[in-house]
Each structure stands twice: as C-alpha cells, then as structure tokens.
Structure 1
Amino acid sequence: MRKIIFISLLTLLLFSCGNKGTTVKDITLNIPSLETLSGQWVSVDTVDMEPSLRNFRAQALVNKDMTSLSWFASAPYSGGYHTGVMKVNGQTPLVTHYRWQPYQALRKSISDNVEINSATRMVPNENLILWEVELRNTTNQQQSYTIMIDHIGFISKYPEPEWQWWYPYPTLTGVTTTRDDVIENMRDYIGTGKNSVDKEVEELINGRPTKTMKKVSWPSDDEILDSKKYTAHTDEGIVLISDKETETTTGYSIITNSDSQSLRQSGAISLWNVELNSDEAKTIRFAMAWGGEPNSVKQMLPLTEQNFESVWDGVQSTWEFLWEDIFKPNNKTLSGTFPVLESNDAVANKVYYTGPLTMLYLMNTNLPQHEKVFLTGGPRWGASITFFWDITEWATLWGVVDPDMMKNHLTAWVGIDPSKHFGQDNFNGGGVGNGYSANYWALFQMMRAYLTISGDTEFLKENIQGKTVLEHLEQYALNWKRISIYDESKNMDDMYRLADFGDDEWNLLECVPTYKHIVPSFNAGYIWMMRETASFHEQAGNTLKANELRTEADEMIERLLKLYAGNGVWNSLYPDGRMIEVRHCLDFMFMGRYLPNDIPAHIKGEMMSFAYRELITDNWMRAQSIEDVAAKDSDRPDHGPLGAFDGWPAGTMDALVQLGYPQKALDFYHAIEPVTNEGIWAQAHELWGERKWEKDAKVRIAKRGWHNRESSSGIAMSQVMLKGFFGFYPSVDGTALKLNKNWTFKGKLYHVKYKGKYYTLDSTGDEVKMVEENH
C-alpha cells in the first residue's frame, strides 16, 4: 500500500510548480475549493450538533463557549469533560454562530460591547491543537476587559480496554465507557454556572439509549480543575499536566504572554488585563499537545508568536494539498483516485464533491490495524470503528478510489464473525458491537465490488480462514438458510423458508420495534447475493452450481412477493403468523436496487407513489412514514419518521435509477443540496421546526438520539453520480457500464480506475462512452 505523507508547505509549493500539464490543469479546475465546500455560518439557535475537528488521528467536538472542546479521542488517548472555557469580566461568552471547515472550527460571539471570534485547528497527523481567539471592542469608547482562559488536561491513555463504539474516557472517579449524558448535560449548560437540572435524559441501558426523568448533575469546572487524578507544573513556561493513573501528559503553551497564571491539579488558568479602544482587538493564541513522557510532550510545544503563524497556516496548506492529491492518478494518498466530475450542473457538483471531502475528513492514519482507515463516525462514538453497513453503502466507489486498501480491509474482515459483530475496532483489531442482519449483505457487496472493479479474479481462489473467497461469498449468500425457521415436519407455510432475522429489532433498524423476523429488505438482498454468486461460479466454470443458485433465487422471489401489503408498502411476517405492515424506506431501497426486474409493474407504480407521498420531502426524506403503525415509538433521526440516516437518500436515489426513473433521482439529488450548507455528510439529518411533520420541514445535522456529527454512509451520494447517472457498475461477466435507457447526465467523470487502468466516462452525447486515459 502507498505510504501517506504529510508534506511541508515548501514541498507543497515545489510539488505544485512541477505539475503544469495543460490537460491536468483543465481537469483540476472542476474541483471546488475547500472554502467553497466548507459549511456556512449558522446561527446557534438553528444548530443541534456542534462542529467537529479532526487531523487524521484525533477528533473532538467544539462546545457552546468560545474555547473548550469535548469528546476528544485519539486512540489510545481520550479526554473527559472539556478542555477549558474562556471568561471575560467574570462571564463565559456563549457562541452565537458556528462555521465548520475541514481544517478548523470557527466560533463567533456577538454581544452589546464585544465581538469574539475564535478558531481552533488540529495540526495534521500530530498530537497538537492550536487556538486563536480575537476579542474586539465594538463600542465607541475605550473598554477594560479581564480575560481568563482555563487550560484543562483531563486526558488519559487506555491501550488495554476494548475500543468499542462506546470508547473509554476518564472521569473524576476513573475510566468509564458509560454514555449517561453527564458530558452532554455539561456541554448543554457550559458557561451558565449550573451543574444540575431536572430533565428527561437518555442512558445507555443494555446497549440501548433509554429515556428516563431524573435530576442530573455534573462536575463544576472547579471540581475538574481540582481533580486529584492529575498534577500540574510548569517547565520553561509550558504547563505540563500528568495523569497519575495512566502514562499520559498533556501540555499547554501559552503563546500570547499572560499577565498571570495560576496552577491547578488538572491544568492552569491564564489571565490577561486588556484596555481596548473602539474597534481595537486583542488576539490570544495558545496550543495543547498530548502524549506519554513530559519531555516528549514539551518538545511538541516550542511555539512562539513567530513560528505559530507558519504552523497555523500549514494546517490549511496540508489540507489543501491532500484535497488536490486524492483527485490525481498515481497520488500519494490512495491506490486509486476519486473521480473528477465536470458538469455545468452546479447543484449536482456540490452534492457530489461533498462526498470526497467527507471521505478525506474521516480518514485516519494512526490506528495500528491498517495503514489507513475510513472511520464510520465520531467524535462522540466510534473513534476507532468501521461499520460494515456504513462503508458498504459506497462499495462501488470505494473499489474505484482505493482498491488496495479495500482488499486489505476485506481480507481482515473475513475473520470477523458477522453474526456477532457489526464492524472492526481498528485500534485493537477485534470485532465490535452486536451482529447486524445487514452484515452478510454488506460484506458480500464489498467483496463483489472489489472483484468486479479490480479484475482481481485470483482473489476468489485465495484461502482466508480455511476457505476460499468464493466459498466465503457462497456462505454469505446462503446464510438465509441457517436463520430460516422453516420446519417441514410442522407443516409450516412455504413463506417461512425466507430468512427470519429474529425477535430483536436492535439487529435490524434498532429503533423500529415492528421491523423484525421475516422482513423484505434483506431477503431481497439474499436473492441478489445468490444470483451474483451464481455468476462467480459460472465464471469459474461451475455451471451446475450456478444454475442451482439461480433456481433457489427464483423460488425465493415467489415467497418474497407474498409479503407485499399493497399501496406500495410491505409486511413483516412473524412466527405466529401475524403480518405487520411496515412503511419504511429500507424495503423500497432493497427491492428497487436489487430486484427491479422482478417486481410487477403495478407494484413498482405503487412503490413510487408511496415514496413520494410519505417519504421524500422538499430537501430530505423520512426513513419511516408518519403513517407507520410504529412511528410514534420509532422517533430517532436516522431510522424514524423525523429524518433519515445519510445513506438512505443515496440508497433511495439508487433504487429510483434501477426502477427506471433516473430523472427523478437527479431531481432528488438537486433537492438535498441545501443540507450541505452546514458541512459534510453526517450520521443523520433530522426534520425539525414547527413544520417538521410537513413536506417543507427544515433540515439539520442531528445530535439527539446519540448521533455522530459526521459519518461515512453519505459518501454514497457521490456513488449515485458514478453508478446511477454515469452507469458505472461492473458486472461479474466484465461489462463495465449499465446504461439508463434514453437518459444521460450531461458531463464527464475523469480518472475512473477500472482493472488497473484509468478511464474517462463521457456522457456529453446521447450515451455514456468509456475512454481509456494515458497516465
């Protein structure tokens, strides 16, 4: 695999000067700048989830004050509570506006006599965070300000405990993995002076978020600063905080000299007395590093006013270099290339390019199991985790972008039992979480994508964990037989031969209590898997086996269609014979994506009516219809009636294309563009506001329900362009394009890697042409 290199600003300049070919320059002009793709300034009263920070190894969320961070994680290090607030004249200024950019998080606070702007940056691939805070006198006369900033180093190292989705972090009473809203309550009330309220809270009980009403409390800032778990001292002006329980040191360098500084147990407080004339500003800079021995941390912080500027600017420069690099053939970051889209459709361009930025932002190069990973989420959850379900949503695109990485991951994932784990912990290497019903389909789809796009047919013969890859594919495709409850001796209806996914809804859609047992979606997935496995067997000369699998798939379709409830929706079948109607997007997506030619025309029409009547809104969609019998019990932004997991709109668009409605898919693609104004793709976007039950509901990144700020599934929006609109979906028999009849998206996709060569997909004419490039 290629070694990822983080290059100095000088090297970047030299590199860019040496690549001035006319063709390359013309193509790269299609790539929007990071400034263009950054989030817009958003008012705090419209925000549910605060912006995050990442640097390819660490991650954190900003809070509602002007300086502190929470949910800091950089395995094996993690932080508890927050990193410290700023006070002005004894009060904590609160954020009025946020802006997310890939290389920094911006906060603004506007009040009667002062405007404060703060920017926070993580230095790429270093254990270093930088702050720059500007306070400006907005009155028409001189003002005095006393500025105090807490520098808290509540960070510990946990190399031994499993880094599950709920990773370990330190508290006043020791390490915990519990998610009980203590930190979230602290974040909600930060700067208010409160440390307890009566409220409805969510606690993770038996692995599930559960609402309870109780008096909740959290430590005050003084209690955190006075924690006996830590001890602080200064060394040549640098504040060093040592953890007594783990081998961890946090250091602060106060770049802008303070008038005084007081040490506490877990940090220090710096004070500045400032006189400012009208419109005059004071800028304060400081930095935080973390690591093991105090000396190693101290060596990360030799910052002065002079070199701070170059390190600060270098953060943005490195991001801009990497952003350009991932679109170049033979780059240093990927084994393939993210295709470059050229079109006059500015709205579609914005949606498409939000995908590669999400991918780059979620890239982590500091986890030991793989040289490079694309994390599923974070920062609150899953700081080291890759979910099979999320990443398979863009499996075709991943096969183009980084086939070497994909093979490396799949080879490792074959050893993880999909009946027990939903993904991999990239820190300690094991499987994590519970067994999702989606896992077999997810792993199969990624295997298929790698094999058909790379052309690496020898991989099918490779022996992993005692079986060839082809045998693993067949095992995934036939797993439905192992979970079917059909018993011929009991004279059961033939429909019970279908896969039964059990009584625990947590293995399916988690929050939808009726979606369990025999459901249409993943049964459709198994039919598709059998057909694709048949094609692999046929390719290998096993015609008899191929015919056997296709026959079983056809028989299964007859059973599956009996689950149709009418009016465009489907039933779940329970062991006691009950048919429970479920009005959810998952059935629409799977039936449309994997069995479009098996669905009778009248059912297709009714499915389309259902999707537009009950799911698709003006700028987003509902995962679950408001009319669903379980809607009131399923209110979570990702899978319930008031929002959708970011992979669902992409999956719905894919289904629309496969069902023969590419223009409707493009219209939907255009409609969701405004949601990118807040930033990149998230775990879910929620429908909110007074009209949240209506088609014109407002949309924002969701936090409630313990959601993550960003997540990888939304990268599938870019796959919709590649697969759906340009038709790139290689089949097992070697056919690369699956074209839409009498419809094309007008544009070009450059640098599509297929079987080791790069191609341009040109749809500027009446059909898509695939032209080999010269590199």
Structure 2
Amino acid sequence: MPLLADASSFQRRSAKDAHAAAIPTVEDLRSVAMVHRFGDLFNLPGLTNQWGCAQAAFDPVGIRNISFPPYAQGEQNTAPAGATGEIVTGFLYVDGEYFASLGLPIEFVWRPDRIERRARYRDFQLSSAMIVPFERMAVAVAFTVENIGRARQGLELRLGLRGGVTKSVAPWDQAYSPGEFDNEHLVDTERGAILFKSRRTAAYAMQGAYPRADEVRPAWLVYRLNLAPGERRTITFVNAIGGDERAVRRSFDELAHNFEREAVRVRKEWDEELASAFTPNNARFSGHLPTLVTSEGAIRRLYHMAAMSALFFKRTTPHSIYGRTYVTLAPRYWQTTTFLWDISLSAMLLAMLDPAVLRRMIETWMQLDVHKHFGTEYLTGAGVGPWYSVNDFAMCRMAREYLRWSGDRAWLDKRVAGERVIDRLIAYARHWRALDVNGHGLADYGGISNLLEAVSNYVHEVASLNAANVYNLRFAAELLAARGETGQARAMSAEAVDLVRRVLELYVPGEGIWRCRLPDGSYHEVRHCYDFGTVLTSIGDDLSSQQKSEMVQFFRRELQTPTWMRALSTRDTDVTFSIRPDHQWTGAYAAWPALALSALYRAGRADLAVEWMRGLASSAGQGPIAQAHFAETAFAPEAGGGARKAPSDPPYINDWACVSGCAYLEPIVESLFGIRAGLFGEISAEPNFASFDPRAELRNLPYQGKLYLASRRGLERI
C-alpha cells in the first residue's frame, strides 16, 4: 500500500476561517509556485475569458495557443508526416539569445485571472503578469525588469512577433486551432506596433508594446535598457485580434495604456463569477452549487477546483450558435468541441450549476446521431469525430442527473426532433442489443478507436460499458414505472438482471479484475481502472462482498498512488503500447480518480477514500485538473507534492485542463455527505465522513426547487 500524501500545503483552518473561505476568490485558488526550464515535462498554464483562451510560453513574456473562435493564431500541418507549426508570439530574447535556450529556471504561478512568471538573468529580475480581459479578444502581459545588482547595467531585450491570425467559421473538427503562416505585416509607426492581416479571411492581429520600443521591425520589438541598482522598467505587451481593423487597434490601445485597470477588472470579474457559482438565484447561471464549509483546506480546495473546472470551460462568446455552453479541453486542443463522455462525467455538477444549459446540450445530442460522433462544436453545431462507445451511457447519465436534481418530469414528454425524450432514453438503454453482434449476450464495442485509444487490449465485450448498460436499463425501468408503464418497466428490469449475470462471467476470481470477451468467444484479462470504477458505480450492489474486497485490493496494490493513480496496472501486458498518461500506466485521465473515489465508497471503504481524497487535493494545486496527470511513480511530482500535469506535446497529447475535473464534486456530495437524491422528489442523506471534519456542512444544496443543509447529522430543509 502506498504511503498517502502530506496535504499540509492546505492546512486546517478555524471554523470562522472555514466559513470565510467557503466561497473562493482568485487568491484562494492560487497555484503552488512551479519552477521549470525548457525541456522539462511541464504543461504551461493557460487562461480564459470565456470567449477564448491563451497559454503562457516557456519564457517570462511569450504567449501561445491564442484562440477566440472563430479567430485564432493556432497551428498548421506543415508536412505530409504531420509536423505542426505552433504560433508563439511575444517570445523573449535577452542580449540576442532566445531566453528558453539558456536553460534558466522560470517560476510559474496560476490564478483564474492571471499567470505570473518570474526568472533571473544575470543580475536582472524578470517578472510578468499575463491577463485575458473579459469581452475582448486580446491578451496582455505586463513585464518588469529590475536591476538587482550593485552596479548600473545594460540589457537588450527583443520580443519576437508572429501573427498567424485567421478566421474560420467552418467546423473546427481537428484537435488544433487554425492559423496561417503568411499574414501581411504592416508597421504602425505611431503605436510602435505591427498589424498582422490574414490574406484569406477578415482577420487582424495587432501586436506591440508600451512604452514604445526603441526599434520596431516587422518581426521584432527591441528595447535597450540601462538601469541603475534597484531601478526597474515595466513594458506592457499586447496581442489583440478580431475581424474589424479599427476595433482591433482600439482594443490594443486600451490595453496597452491601461493594464493595471484591466487587471483589476479581470480579478473582480472572476471573483464575481466564483461567488455567483455558489449563490442561489444568481444572474450568471441557471442554478448554483452547494457551499462546502469545512476546516479541511485540502478537501475544500479539491471541491473548489471541481467548480473551477466548470467556470474555466464555460463559453459565453457571441459566436456560439447555442448561446452559453461548455467545452471540454483548453487551452490547446478542440477549442470549440464538447465531448459527450466528458460532460457525462461532469453531469452532477452541471445539473446543479447550470441545468438549463445541460438540458440544451442533451437535446442537441438527441438531434445528432450519437452513434457516429463523439461530440459537437459550437460555431456551426456540426458533429465531430468518430463514435465513442460510451455515448448511450453518457446520454442516460446526463439525463438522469438533470432529471433528479431539477425535478423536470415534464421534459420527458417534450418532443426533440419529433420524438419524445422518454422514447429516446429508452432507445439508448436498449441499444446494447444492436451491439450484441457475436450472440454472446453482451455488447461488442469494437476496437481501440471507439474505446480508450491508448490501450490496445481493451476492446470488444468490455465489463465497464456492459455494466453501464445495466445502469441504463434500470434508469429506463424507473422512469417507466413512475409513469405507470409497469409491463415495460418489469421487462427492462428483468433484462438488466440477465445482463448482470453475463457481465459477472467476465470477472476473474481472486484477482479483482475483469476480462474482455472477443468475437471468437475467447477472453483476455485487462487490469484497467475503468472497469474498477464503472463496474462498482454501475452494479456495485450486484457484486458479492468478496468481489468488492478483491477489487479494492487490486486498486490499492496496482493502481493507487499517494496523490493520483495509474489508469493501467504496470502488471498488464499492454504497458508498451503507449505512454499516453490518460489511459496507460504512466498516469490517469482527469476523472478517473474521482470515479475511483466513488467506487471505493460503493465498496464500503470510506476510510480509504477520505485519506486518498486529501492526497488528490495536492494535485489540485496546479490550477484546474488537467486532462491527465502523471503518476508520481512514472515522473517526479510537481512542487507541493501533487501529481504533475502531463504536457500537451506528443507523445503525451493531454491538455492543461479538462472539464471533467467537475467530477470531483460527485464523491464529496454523494459519497462523503451521502446525499441520496431520487428522481421523483425523494431525498435523504447517509453521511459517511470517516476521518473527515465532523463539523463540516454542505449548505444551500439545491434539489428540485428546494434548498437543504447537509452535515454529519443528515439532511434538513432550509
């Protein structure tokens, strides 16, 4: 059993302090200081203004992955082999040398409203603050150089400029954001800036700095400094983009000359956004989240980062055909796309925070053939990508969360594209039958591209999604029974019982793991966390106590690490297939630890879950949970002891943040506080705090139009 992580960076507070910290501010969410140099396995932090994103580059000033769809300064495929050219701008040279090439350490600190960077070169302290102001398509970096030596010193600074701006209102159906290599360059001598202009679309980017550089060239801004001891100089670099040249120039001017004012406004906006997320009847969401009051700073931070995962992926851009929506990854990949799978893992949180948008997303996907695509994108509404095998389960899970927290039973009779919602849900629950192509009584989910992609032996008749089919059938049966359609309800319940029996045939006694069944009837064992989490949370009550005990032993022995986990056991035969950390032995996808926490509770091990939750909180010290973190056994932990975010560069290809970080709300609300929220107005609580703060409370819990207070004592109406 691994030793559990020390969560001392998030100390216990007094009850008074705990109440004050229950509504987080940007300062409460400040990351640990992460010190890295070029070449480290480090995912550079990103920012959003809910219109788009930008990411810090590997120097104190540079910016990468600037994207405000339909406008972007993205990446392009430059060779048949798939080489890509990434557009970075504002990148720093000191005394003629590219800063990143010097191998000097850079300190990165993230907050929702800014990224702070700090480094030292010779006897100069270099520090910066980067912001992405709300309701603009622009990024600004205020960069300060201070002479910390004892003598006057000179220093030449250059900021390298690249445009790459484009506009694309076609479906963004590739992982990379679009960009162009051959923008026109127009020098604006008055501003000391460069206007980049797309040759193909109505897109502009103005880049420059204030005060004006000593030299302004098409690809450079050059500053020659001569500073006395203790003297400092601050330069504000701005990149503004858009489709109207005058508006772009105006945005540039306003930011270049008013950085501090804009920085204050961004901070206030984020503090208001965070407060609104926990406030009933707020003006920013169609719902709100319950407030966690506890002296346990570690678990409180994990809970707040679950909320931040929703706010980071909320999109209010006027270019969305849906209006307000939520996307899946940022700041590099799939900028306009929402994946069914990830939203389904975030569904409990979204059902509380923004139920109207969750319902709209479900209805959007009901009008799509969910057996052909993994999601949709918001610029055009087009379907994106291939079918993911989880989609039937995802649709049922999202619908169940929406229904049970909202109480909107009338929705079941709404017609979406000519068909009632209830009929669509029943069809999803029954679709497994069409996938029983081998006659084994189990759904065959095909090859790796429909499943975990990075695990080549997790294919065909897998335990996880066949257990999920039982969940779907029971959900549909419960809906039918409540509507008085008892015959259909009994038939689907009986079908679920039969399916459970066949799923249990995949279990490996004594090992705590599951087999995949192949089309020819043969089996092979797979030691993967998705079976552990999904089977226990879908059909946990159908497992024997012996099976649950063996599964927990497997998890502790082969998957769990102090502050994260492995998705695949290092004892599995597929460990050499890939080193992608989302699904392989090198780490785990954003939501897998959250799913495992719920599974531990279903197996009766609240004690293990609470202790591990404190360790996981250390991994929430780098900003919102990443698409994947490395297991500490594969790569050294980040500062503060948390599992390091995996980089977005190949072969790891995992983004800095993922919406399914929302999943960490679920084990806290449903397992720790034991909330039992039924579909039809029945709510109760069976708290199981184990070693958790006995005075903790969950306030303003929203359930079907009423508010509740949950504590160790149970549940009471407010």
TM-score (norm 2): 0.90
Kindly state the Cα deviation for residue 561 of structure 1 after the two structures are TM-superposed.
0.8
Specify the alignment match of 1:230 in structure 2: 184
* Of 305, 310, 313, the match for 2:261: 310
SS in 2 for 1:261: strand
Q: Does 1:88 align with 2:94?
A: yes
Kindly state the Cα deviation for residue 28 of structure 1 after the two structures are TM-superposed.
5.4
In structure 2, do the counterparts of structure 1 residues 305 and 521 end up closer, same or farther at CA, with 3 Å as the change threshold?
Answer: closer
1:312-351 paired onto structure 2 within 5 Å:
312-351=263-302
Q: Does 1:552 align with 2:522?
A: no
Specify the alignment match of 1:633 in structure 2: 577
Q: Deviations over 1:467-495 (max 9, x none)?
A: 211111111111110010244xxxxxxxx
In structure 2, do the counterparts of structure 1 residues 505 and 29 end up closer, same or farther at CA, with 3 Å as the change threshold?
Answer: closer
- Structure 1 gaps, min length 5: 1-23, 173-226, 488-495
SS in 1 for 2:581: coil
In structure 2, do the counterparts of structure 1 residues 87 and 743 end up closer, same or farther at CA, with 3 Å as the change threshold?
Answer: closer
1:173-572 paired onto structure 2 within 5 Å:
227=182, 229-234=183-188, 236-237=190-191, 238-262=193-217, 264=218, 268-303=219-254, 307-366=258-317, 367-487=319-439, 496-502=440-446, 504-566=447-509, 567-572=511-516
In structure 2, do the counterparts of structure 1 residues 125 and 474 end up closer, same or farther at CA, with 3 Å as the change threshold?
Answer: same
Q: Aligned equivalents of 1:615 and 1:421: distance in 2? A: 31
Q: Aligned equivalents of 1:304 and 1:351: distance in 2? A: 34
Task: Answer whether contact 1:122 1:128 (CA < 8 A) is retained.
Answer: yes
Task: Answer whether contact 2:552 2:603 (CA < 8 A) is retained.
Answer: no
Q: Aligned equivalents of 1:154 and 1:451: distance in 2? A: 45
SS in 2 for 1:637: coil
Kindly state the Cα deviation for residue 662 of structure 1 after the two structures are TM-superposed.
2.0
SS in 2 for 1:37: coil
Task: Answer whether contact 1:520 1:572 (CA < 8 A) is retained.
Answer: yes
SS in 1 for 2:115: strand
Task: Answer whether contact 1:147 1:272 (CA < 8 A) is retained.
Answer: yes
Task: Answer whether contact 1:71 1:380 (CA < 8 A) is retained.
Answer: yes
In structure 2, do the counterparts of structure 1 residues 542 and 405 end up closer, same or farther at CA, with 3 Å as the change threshold?
Answer: same
Q: Aligned equivalents of 1:744 and 1:555: distance in 2? A: 39
Q: Deviations over 1:328-353 (max 9, x none)?
A: 11111111112110012222111111
Q: Aligned equivalents of 1:402 and 1:735: distance in 2? A: 21
Question: What's the C-alpha RMSD, in Å, of the aligned pairs?
Answer: 2.3
Q: Which amino acid aligns with 1:164?
A: D
Specify the alignment match of 2:715 in structure 1: 769
In structure 2, do the counterparts of structure 1 residues 327 and 526 end up closer, same or farther at CA, with 3 Å as the change threshold?
Answer: same
Q: Which amino acid aligns with 2:384?
A: V
Q: Aligned equivalents of 1:357 and 1:709: distance in 2? A: 13
Q: Aligned equivalents of 2:624 and 2:551: distance in 1? A: 30
- Aligned pair count reads 675
Q: Which has the higher contact order (CA 8 A, sep 6+)?
A: 2
Task: Answer whether contact 2:142 2:259 (CA < 8 A) is retained.
Answer: no
Kindly state the Cα deviation for residue 101 of structure 1 after the two structures are TM-superposed.
1.5
Q: Aligned equivalents of 1:486 and 1:151: distance in 2? A: 58
In structure 2, do the counterparts of structure 1 residues 691 and 416 end up closer, same or farther at CA, with 3 Å as the change threshold?
Answer: closer
Kindly state the Cα deviation for residue 48 of structure 1 after the two structures are TM-superposed.
1.6
Kindly state the Cα deviation for residue 418 of structure 1 after the two structures are TM-superposed.
1.5
Q: Which amino acid aligns with 2:333?
A: W
Q: Aligned equivalents of 1:646 and 1:158: distance in 2? A: 30
Task: Answer whether contact 2:66 2:73 (CA < 8 A) is retained.
Answer: yes
Kindly state the Cα deviation for residue 741 of structure 1 after the two structures are TM-superposed.
6.7
Q: Which amino acid aligns with 2:334?
A: G
Q: Which amino acid aligns with 2:49?
A: N
SS in 1 for 2:612: helix
Kindly state the Cα deviation for residue 542 of structure 1 after the two structures are TM-superposed.
0.2
Specify the alignment match of 2:172 in structure 1: 163
Kindly state the Cα deviation for residue 257 of structure 1 after the two structures are TM-superposed.
2.6
Specify the alignment match of 1:590 in structure 2: 534
Specify the alignment match of 1:717 in structure 2: 664
Q: Which amino acid aligns with 2:414?
A: E
Q: Which amino acid aligns with 1:231?
A: H
SS in 1 for 2:427: helix
Q: Does 1:705 align with 2:648?
A: no
SS in 2 for 1:672: helix
Specify the alignment match of 1:200 in structure 2: none
Kindly state the Cα deviation for residue 244 of structure 1 after the two structures are TM-superposed.
1.6
Q: Which amino acid aligns with 1:232?
A: L
SS in 2 for 1:478: helix
Kindly state the Cα deviation for residue 359 of structure 1 after the two structures are TM-superposed.
1.5
Q: Which amino acid aligns with 2:706?
A: K
Task: Answer whether contact 2:580 2:653 (CA < 8 A) is retained.
Answer: no
Task: Answer whether contact 1:146 1:271 (CA < 8 A) is retained.
Answer: yes
Q: Which amino acid aligns with 1:568?
A: G
- Structure 2 gaps, min length 5: 1-15, 75-86
Q: Which amino acid aligns with 2:382?
A: G
1:92-171 paired onto structure 2 within 5 Å:
92-94=98-100, 96-160=106-170, 162-171=171-180
Kindly state the Cα deviation for residue 425 of structure 1 after the two structures are TM-superposed.
0.5
Specify the alignment match of 1:188 in structure 2: none
Kindly state the Cα deviation for residue 170 of structure 1 after the two structures are TM-superposed.
2.2
Q: Aligned equivalents of 1:361 and 1:319: distance in 2? A: 10
SS in 2 for 1:105: strand
Task: Answer whether contact 1:60 1:379 (CA < 8 A) is retained.
Answer: yes
1:649-688 paired onto structure 2 within 5 Å:
649-688=593-632
Q: Deviations over 1:680-706 (max 9, x none)?
A: 11101012577779xx99720001521
TM-score (norm 1): 0.84
Kindly state the Cα deviation for residue 611 of structure 1 after the two structures are TM-superposed.
0.6
Q: Aligned equivalents of 2:179 and 2:25: distance in 1? A: 39
SS in 1 for 2:684: coil
SS in 2 for 1:361: helix
Task: Answer whether contact 1:401 1:753 (CA < 8 A) is retained.
Answer: no
Q: Aligned equivalents of 1:580 and 1:690: distance in 2? A: 26
Q: Deviations over 1:149-196 (max 9, x none)?
A: 233322111112x21242442243xxxxxxxxxxxxxxxxxxxxxxxx
Q: Aligned equivalents of 2:621 and 2:186: distance in 1? A: 42
Q: Aligned equivalents of 2:700 and 2:528: distance in 1? A: 37
Q: Aligned equivalents of 2:387 and 2:357: distance in 1? A: 24
Kindly state the Cα deviation for residue 270 of structure 1 after the two structures are TM-superposed.
2.2
Kindly state the Cα deviation for residue 732 of structure 1 after the two structures are TM-superposed.
2.6
Q: Which amino acid aligns with 1:730?
A: A
Q: Aligned equivalents of 1:642 and 1:690: distance in 2? A: 5
Q: Aligned equivalents of 1:252 and 1:691: distance in 2? A: 38
Q: Does 1:757 align with 2:711?
A: no
Kindly state the Cα deviation for residue 50 of structure 1 after the two structures are TM-superposed.
0.7
Q: Aligned equivalents of 1:75 and 1:479: distance in 2? A: 35
Task: Answer whether contact 1:334 1:401 (CA < 8 A) is retained.
Answer: yes
Q: Which amino acid aligns with 1:388?
A: L
SS in 2 for 1:311: helix
In structure 2, do the counterparts of structure 1 residues 299 and 621 end up closer, same or farther at CA, with 3 Å as the change threshold?
Answer: same
Greater shift, 95-104 or 437-446, is seen at 95-104
Q: Deviations over 1:72-104 (max 9, x none)?
A: 211111114111322222123235221122111
In structure 2, do the counterparts of structure 1 residues 362 and 120 end up closer, same or farther at CA, with 3 Å as the change threshold?
Answer: same
Task: Answer whether contact 1:753 1:759 (CA < 8 A) is retained.
Answer: yes
Kindly state the Cα deviation for residue 397 of structure 1 after the two structures are TM-superposed.
2.1
Q: Deviations over 1:594-641 (max 9, x none)?
A: 111111221111111101010111111111101111122142100001
Greater shift, 647-656 or 385-394, is seen at 385-394
Task: Answer whether contact 1:123 1:129 (CA < 8 A) is retained.
Answer: yes
Q: Aligned equivalents of 2:420 and 2:500: distance in 1? A: 28
